[in-house]
Every structure is written in structure tokens, then in C-alpha cells.
A and B are shown apart, each in its own frame.
Chain A
Amino acid sequence: MGLREAIDSGQFLITGEVAPPKGCHFEHMVEEAEHYRGRVHGVNVTDIQSAVMRASSLVGCIKLKEAGLPPVLQMVCRDRNRLSLQSELLSAAAMGINEVLCLTGDYTTLGDHPQAKPVFDLDSVQLLKAAKRLMEGRDMAYYPSRKDPTQMVDGEPLEGDPPVFTLGCVVNPGAEPLEPQIMKLRKKIDAGADFCQTQAVYDAGVFERFMEKLGDCPIPILAGVVVLKNPMMGRYMNANVAGVTVPEWMIEALADKETRVEKSIEIHGKLVAELKPLCQGIHMMPLGWDKYVPRILDLAGIGPVA
């Protein structure tokens, strides 16, 4: 069952995440995604994540689809203007990739090409609206009519049946202040988002506070779980990732190299179990530890997806 059907039938949603290679060979990415088979409703393919140059999300999605896995196309606003973003959406639909996660994107200077021109022609709300508009069979075109220049052309019609998308968005539940984050999430929902995946959560209490502040929400929220692999990664995230706090006890628990993997699986299994009753899904971001995701889900009492 794909993400669309799972959302419509009100299932507890599970998604995973893989990253395209910095190179032109996708075999390893597809191998990693294999671990998700039968366990998730969708596998996100990141879009030049952290502004570190890589092969494209769209091709990654095509590779997953060829392998019979359900891709979710991530699209960020950092690298393309509205012409290119709409074009990519149409191209995705043409390849049968209909699940799209719309994000602003990390700023260029956070990555490995800090001198690159940041685009940000649209923001995530406007990208969602653009995708929704394509679903209605027209684009964002807006220019003076050639017949009557006093009249503006507001959207050019698309040829043939319009594309169909299931649109996702993101939110950072740990950011302070929280009020503007929730305000923007509400705009994303108004703009047409069908589901929401969150930034990494390590403290179920913080996430619960976010869900309480959010209140009634018409779309499913998938709590984001970035698998902590070692203490260094925890310290790095605490120092560098906005709104993400890895508790000290968790960092200490992974100190011993010998027991690290087992400890990590246990900790994240428990975390997912704690998050599960608070929301409508889990988004796993294992950063290469994809092979342990089934065990984490098992520990949290989440079996194979229908």
C-alpha cells in the first residue's frame, strides 16, 4: 500500500529516507532502501541534503520505483526557480512519482558549495501551492495577455490530464519560539499539504508539547527519528542543528563501541514506542543504518505494513 492509500485509510504511517550518491551509481542507495521493503509506506529520497552536492532526488526516486519500492520525492526551493520546480514536478508525475515532500531547503553556506547562488524563488508554502495548481491543470504563468495587454494571463493550461500528487511538508517541533513554526505549518496545510514529517525528535516530552500546542490538525504528523549512531554525532547535532536536542544520557549510552549498535536499536525502539501514541506516523532517518530500521520498528511494536 502506498502513502496515499495509507493516509486515506487512516493507517499509522511509516516512512524512511535514503540519500542519492555523490556520484552516478545508485546501487548502494537502492540496497539501503531494500531494508524498508514491506515496512514503510514511502521512502524519501533527499534533494541535495544539507546543500552537499549529490545526484538528483528524481533519479533516485525512479531507481526506487524500478526496484518496486515506494519513493517520496523531496524538493527544496534552494536550487531552482519556479520554472524549474514546476518542470520537475511534471517530470516526476510523468515517471509515476506522485508523492512529493516540499521543503525550503538548507541554506547554501551550510554545504560544500558555499559560494553557490541561493535561489529561493519560491518558499515551501508557495511550492505546495504551485503543485496544487498543477493538479488543477494549470501552471503559475502570470503575464500580460498578448491579445489584450491590460488583462493578465493567470495560469497556462497543461496538456492532457493534470498530474496527481500527494504532498508533504515538514515542521521543526523543537524550534523556539514555536508559535511561528506552527503558524507556518497551518499555512502549508492551507496550501495543500496532505502529510507532515517532522525534524528529528529525541525527547517524547518535547514532541508532546508541540502536538498539544498544534491542537487539532487535519493532516497526519509523522514524528521524525534520526538514528543516533555515536556520541560524536549527538554532540554535533546539539551544536549545529537548530531546534534539535539530543539528551546527554543518550549520548553517554552510546559511549562503548562494542555495545553501541545494540544500545542504539534499543534506545530508538523505545523512543518510537513513546512517540507512537502521540501522532499518526513515524519518519525514520537512519543516515546509513537502514538495516537496523526493521528491528527498531519491531521493538516499538510496529509490524510490516499492509
Chain B
Amino acid sequence: MTATEQKTREEILKMLENDETIFIVGCGDCATICQTGGEVEVAEMKQFLEESGKKVSGTLIPESACQVLDVARLLRQQKEEVAAADSILVLSCGAGVQSVVENLKDKPVHPGCNSLFIANTKRLGQLHEWCSTCGECVIDEYGGVCPITRCPKGQVNGPCGGTDQGKCEVDPEQDCVWTLIYQRLEHVPGKEKVETTLYGAKNFDAGRHPRKRVFEPRRGG
């Protein structure tokens, strides 16, 4: 899922300073799990905006805000509330915000959250970045642990000199991914290969923005 955090209330009010009536869109998927754009947070935002002197013409929480056509359909269902608003505040990742932008040609749309990363969840409220969608997965070489994402420098040939006691110099709270890789390779094959292979320069073109993938969906069933 995509990890998000809400922008500060001050930032949100600054974005909305010229708008009197707001329509709020949340997201029933990632932003609900992140507690940034679920039912509770959308209700809280509505109350906050009203207490700040705004009007809220309506709210909408699509199943997934990144589903462009589904968002289009739901926005049509609340056509009047949307039309009454000076702008839309979207509490989701940037993909969700742009689903709304794509569907409302002449209405300002504001992002209420910062999109952070593709998240693994260990327990509720603890999100970790283990994959950064580089476009060319290499983790088979590293016991399934990603050095590109889990090392700030993306070191694929071994740790830098800034690691100590198994921790990372950049953020001593974080484990050095190379300590994790070595621990993992105590239990699964691959240690000799990782120790003796000089991995070449990464193909960053595989991650060139903006990416798209078009495929023929399976039919039937």
C-alpha cells in the first residue's frame, strides 16, 4: 500500500485560504489503513474546516481513490455537492488526488496528504519501506532483502563504511541492510555468490518517470 501522512492543519488552511466551500474526498484503501483519509479522518477534517469558518458541501470515500473511473462515477453521483464547492480537498496519496483532477476539469483540487512510500505493515501504525518500485527487481541476489531500498545509498556490492554495530550511520535507528542480508544468507543459499559477484551499475532507465503499464486483462470467469 501507499503510506501517507496528513499535511499540517496550517498547511491545509493555507491551501484553502481563497476557498469558502470545500468538498472532501477520502480513500477507503491505503489512506484508511494509514488513518489519514478514512471515514474517521474525513469526518474530523469536515469538523475542523467548519470550525475554521468553511462550509463543507459534501464528502466522498471511494473504495480506492486511485481507481479513476470509479472516482468519476462517484463524483457524478454527488454532482451537486461537488458543483457547490469552490475546491476539493483529497485525503489520499497523490495518485488519488490526480484521479479527482482527471475528472474535474475546472475545479481546483488540493492534496491533504503527503505520499510517503510503498509500505509494508508490521502492526497497525508501523509502516516500513522495503520496496521502492525501481522497475528491475534484484532481490533474488540478496536473499530477498532489498539493498536498493533499505540502504540510503542503495549499496549493491556491500555496506559502506558508515555502518557499525549493525546499524546505519544515516539513521542509527535503522538496521544496516547488509547486516540483514548477511543474517538472512546464514539460512538461505546465496552468500558465496553475493560475496564474489561485482554487481554492475543499475539501469535507472527502468524507473524513469512517468511509467505506465498497459496489458490485456484476463476475461471471463
The distance in angstroms between the C-alpha atoms of A94 and B166, with both chains bound, is 42
Residues of A contacting B165 in the complex (Cβ-Cβ under 8 angstroms): 176
Residues of A contacting B202 in the complex (Cβ-Cβ under 8 angstroms): 121
B182 at the interface (CB under 8 A from A): yes
Contact B200 A126 (CB under 8 A): yes
| B interface with A by C-beta (< 8 Å) | 152-166, 169-170, 178-179, 182, 195, 198-202, 204
16 A-B pairs with C-beta separation under 8 A = A77-B153, A104-B155, A104-B160, A104-B161, A107-B153, A118-B153, A120-B155, A123-B153, A123-B156, A125-B157, A129-B200, A180-B163, A180-B179, A181-B159, A187-B158, A243-B161
Of the candidates A107, A126, A172, the one whose C-beta lies within 8 Å of that of B170 is: A107
Contact B201 A199 (CB under 8 A): no
Residues of B contacting A116 in the complex (Cβ-Cβ under 8 angstroms): none
A-side interface residues, number (CB < 8 Å): 38
The distance in angstroms between the C-alpha atoms of A199 and B162, with both chains bound, is 10
Residues of B contacting A180 in the complex (Cβ-Cβ under 8 angstroms): 158-159, 163, 178-179, 182
The distance in angstroms between the C-alpha atoms of A33 and B5, with both chains bound, is 51
The distance in angstroms between the C-alpha atoms of A123 and B147, with both chains bound, is 12
Contact B159 A184 (CB under 8 A): yes
Residues of A contacting B179 in the complex (Cβ-Cβ under 8 angstroms): 177, 180
Contact B198 A170 (CB under 8 A): no
A82 at the interface (CB under 8 A from B): yes
Contact A106 B157 (CB under 8 A): no
Contact A170 B161 (CB under 8 A): yes
Contact A181 B198 (CB under 8 A): no
List the A residue with the shortest CB-CB distance to B169. A242
**0 or 1 for each of A241-276: is its CB under 8 Å from B? (1 = yes):** 011000000000000000000000000000000000
A61 at the interface (CB under 8 A from B): no
List the B residue with the shortest CB-CB distance to A198. B161
Contact B201 A121 (CB under 8 A): yes
Contact A175 B161 (CB under 8 A): yes
List the A residue with the shortest CB-CB distance to B181. A180
The distance in angstroms between the C-alpha atoms of A126 and B198, with both chains bound, is 8
A156 at the interface (CB under 8 A from B): no
Contact B198 A187 (CB under 8 A): yes
Question: Quick one: given A126-B200, A180-B179, are A242 and B162 in contact (CB under 8 Å)?
Answer: yes
Of the candidates A78, A123, A176, A183, the one whose C-beta lies within 8 Å of that of B164 is: A176
